[in-house]
Amino acid sequence: MNTLFTTAIAFLLIGFQSSNVYSQKTTAEENDQSFLLEYYQQNINQLRAKTTRLSEAQLAYQPSPESWSVSMCLEHIYLTEKSLAESVQALFEQPVNPQDRELLAASDEDIMNNLVDRSAKFKAPEVLHPTGEFKTAEQALEAIIDNRAKIFQLIDAHSVEEMRNRVADAPFGKMDGYQYILFIAAHAERHRLQIDEVIASEGFPAK
């Protein structure tokens, strides 16, 4: 895992011992490729529904100088996923190490719950801060979708057993390959919720 990957995971999962707020729970039946693909698809569908009809002023609106706009959230999702997809690809090129599964630090449910807990705020690494790369929501979403094709190829090419049997270090312990892919989708869902907060904020432009 590269330094950026471990830094990103660290800042998002500091609160791992605290909350369980996410309503969607993983079960044994959901431990498959289709669950991962559906989770990603639901996220991009919701991002598209929320953002593509927003005006330039609405996309650029920041509730406070420290807060991110809708456009900034979309770019951050793209930047983070671009980096993490490369790191996950490197993980899947490594030999399997199923003996380390007993060292996993968290369940799938822990990862999903804690990442979408918006009561816990974290500062993203500087390298993942948005810089205004995209002019429209459509451009950002297209870039996100194009990058996710790499992730979907990994999901299609590996069985759940192969994903589970690749275990790597994370700042809070160890995660397996399935969990790393789940982490990326849950991170996007966290910022989809942030976009909802921006749109619902008092000063959000009417048009």
User: Does the pLDDT value for residue 200 go beyond 60?
Assistant: yes
Tell me what the mean pLDDT of segment 131-144 comes to.
97
Which percentage of the chain shows pLDDT scores above 90?
A: 71
Task: Read off the pLDDT of residues 43-72 as tens digits, 9 standing for 90 and up.
Answer: 999 999 999 999 999 999 999 999 999 999
Tell me what the mean pLDDT of segment 164-180 comes to.
89
User: Does the pLDDT value for residue 16 go beyond 70?
Assistant: no
Domains plus CATH for the chain?
3-7+31-200 (1.20.120.450)
How confident is the model at residue 29, as a pLDDT? Answer: 43
Tell me what the mean pLDDT of segment 31-38 comes to.
89
Q: What is the rounded distance in angstroms from the CA atom of residue 163 to the CA atom of residue 179?
A: 8
How confident is the model at residue 30, as a pLDDT? Answer: 57
Cα separation values, 111 from 6, 107, 143, 152, 179, Å: 15, 7, 25, 19, 8
198-47-190-104 Cα dihedral, nearest 10 degrees: 180
Query: Residue 114 — pLDDT band, cuts 50, 70, 90?
Result: confident
Is 82 in contact with 145 (CB distance < 8 Å)?
A: no
The continuous run of DSSP H or E covering 67 comes out as: none
Phi and psi of 169, rounded to 5°?
Answer: -70, 145
User: Does the pLDDT value for residue 10 go beyond 60?
Assistant: no
What is the three-state SS of 163-189?
Answer: HHCCEEEECCEEEEHHHHHHHHHHHHH
How confident is the model at residue 120, as a pLDDT? Answer: 77
Tell me what the mean pLDDT of segment 91-95 comes to.
94
Higher model confidence: residue 111 or residue 149?
149
Summary mean pLDDT of the chain: 87
